[in-house]
Chain A
Amino acid sequence: MTVLTEAAPVSAPRPPRSKAPLVRAAQHTAVVAAFLVLWQVASGRWIDPLLVTDPLSVGRQLLEWVQDGRLVFHLSFTLQALLIGFVAGSVAAFLLAVLFTELPRLGRFAETYIIAFNAIPNIALVPIFIVWFGFGIATKILMAYLTASFIVFIAAFQGLRNTDARYLELARILEASRWQVLVKIRLWAALPFLASAFKMALPKTALAVVIAEFLGSNRGVGYLVVRASNLLDIPALFAAVVVLTALVQVLSLVAAFVETRLLRWIPKEKR
């Protein structure tokens, strides 16, 4: 006799776990909106508006900056210093890492100094740079340069040096030239390190520029913050912080986007 049992599916398609992105976006928007409304209502009732201000005042201030062009004026200054310093610092750090990888003895020797130099808090260097280069953009570019280059150097050096031994063996068997090993293997193997370095370095570099602007500047997002603070203009202070937060957020998103584009070949669970 044959007994027939109801076949139970061993692996049924799982119901989609994450809700549609639109739904999630709506939820977050609702939370933020609720918070802002609550803040607006509380302001003047339970919170001292002179100290904490209210969302509408902050919004008005932001709108004013957009309309009179001050936002673009200050943001472009910060971004310019950031981009020049970041690109120059990354390129220089990367080239140095390549040099040290190709000349490993020099690399190991010099690495000690680089790590020691990295231990200097770069905020402490701003006053020195101001003395040397003044209050202009040079000081900010230099801060961005230093911040980006340390992070990128350490990641690139590690990535280039720790290329999987199997890849290097393959190159040796196939009699690849040194240049080919560098360009066709080491660079690629270092990409994950570089991508995470960029992700870390970009917002940090932005903050370094803003800190340089705090300590002496007449332009930039950092200057907006300091000026508002000096004038006890609380809405402007909050608005400047909003601008700064948005800047760092956008940069983080850009870096994350670049990372996923660069690392498509890595299985998702390993990223």
Chain B
Amino acid sequence: MTTVVAPAAPDVRGGSIAIRGLGHAFGTVEALRDVDLDIAAGEFVSFVGTSGCGKSTLLNVIAGLLTPTSGTVTISGALPRRAYITQDDRLLAWRTALQNVAFPLELHGVPKRERLERARELLARVGLADAVDRRPHELSGGMRQRVSIAQALVYRPAVLLMDEPFGALDAWTREALHEVLLDVRAELGTTTVLVTHDVYEALSLSDRVVTLAPRPGRVLRDHSLRDHPSPRDLRSAALLDLHETIRADLGFTHSTKDTP
């Protein structure tokens, strides 16, 4: 009843995720029940749900931080396997931004020059070229979050897990980072799972939006966005309809059709 990591063909960058009969309880509180979900290699899936629907729990199980009470999660993909970005950063206080971004590469034995070069390049892409030598306490919350994103991307993981990674950022930074994320994904074909409460964010980034229902958390519906090529116009009739449908899934009744 654990997260199983299976080896895969070395050429496939993105990993696939298979979730079978997954259930998790914190004591007597049932957080997840009977979750069955397949995420294909290279797919971008968003989990959307109201708070308490177990979306973060689900992500923590996939990340291997939680051992589920029942069911399995299998990730097949090349090494390195997972990167996880959460709302609160996990940057090491004694390392500079550059050293933090290079940290995953260091763990996996990438030579120093190469890892620093790659870290520097990614920090530049998230707009922090000037902050490479600053330590976390010298960075703002938004900057720390960008360092975390760079740290996750530099590592070129098979699976990228994100829990509200853009929540604390201003609208401009968020959009810029969406672009970086989509670019890097296009290059690497990283399988991506995003947890968000922002339906627009989910719609503009993902190939699939999975809605979750609360108490106990379970999959409600699975909406494909394969027919809407990127970049998407969130004001298009089809996407506005989908937005309404998702909001209805989550139990919101009043329309927001006029205010995308």
Whether chain B is bound by chain A comes out as yes
Given contacts A174-B107, A175-B81, whether A169 and B92 have CB atoms under 8 Å apart is no
Taking the nearest CB of chain B, how far is it from the CB of A139, in angstroms?
Answer: 39
Question: DSSP class of B's interface residues: helix, strand, loop or mixed?
Answer: loop
The smallest beta-carbon distance between B2 and chain A, in angstroms, is: 13
Contact with B along A62-85 (1 / 0, CB 8 A): 000000000000000000000000
Residues of B within 8 A of A (CB): 63-65, 80-84, 88, 90, 92-95, 103-104, 106-108, 135, 137, 155
Hey, which chain B residues are within 8 Å of A176, CB to CB? 107
The reply to whether A174 and B94 contact each other, CB–CB distance below 8 Å, is: no
Check if A191 sits within 8 Å of B94, measured CB to CB. Answer: yes
Q: B104–A174 contact, CB under 8 A? A: yes
- Give the most central of B88, B93, B94: most A CB within 10 Å: B94
Chain A 169-187 per-residue mask, 1 if CB under 8 angstroms from chain B, else 0? 1111111110010001100
- Cβ of A180 and Cβ of B107 under 8 Å apart? yes
Indicate the size class of the contact surface on chain A.
Answer: 10 to 19
Contact A167 B92 (CB under 8 A): yes
- Cα A184 to Cα B103 with chains together (Å): 9
Taking each of A170, A173, A185, A188, which has the highest tally of chain B beta carbons within 10 Å of its own beta carbon? Answer: A173
Contact A172/B64 with A166-B88, A188-B94, A265-B93 known, Cβ cut-off 8 Å: yes
Q: Is A13 an interface residue (CB 8 A)?
A: no
Asked if A119 is at the interface of the complex by the 8 Å CB criterion, the answer is: no
Contact of B83 with A184 in the complex, beta carbons under 8 Å: no
**A residues apposed to B, CB below 8 Å:** 166-167, 169-177, 180, 184-185, 188, 191, 265-267
**A199 CA to B88 CA, complexed, in Å:** 33
Q: Which of A175, A177, A180, A185 contacts B92 (CB 8 A)?
A: A185
Residue among B88, B93, B107, B108 making CB contact with A184, cutoff 8 Å = B107
